[in-house]
């Protein structure tokens, strides 16, 4: 699943590795959306 809250925990993103990147993308997309 995509965790848009990953951005809040950068440490978690690095720990998740691949999963962290996905969740990070989700947040970026949401941010770009109005």
Q: Where are the domains of the chain?
A: 1-34
Dump pLDDT digits (tens) for 1-34: 445 555 555 555 555 555 555 555 555 555 555 5
Please state the pTM of the whole predicted model.
0.15
Of residues 34, 31, 33, the one with CA closest to residue 4? 31
Question: Taking a C-beta distance cutoff of 8 angstroms, is the pair 31, 8 a contact?
Answer: no
Q: What is the pLDDT of residue 8?
A: 52
């Amino acid at each position: 699943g995509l965790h848009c809250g990953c951005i809040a925990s950068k440490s978690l993103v690095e720990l998740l590795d691949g999963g962290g990147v996905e969740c990070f993308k989700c947040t970026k997309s949401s941010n770009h959306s109005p």
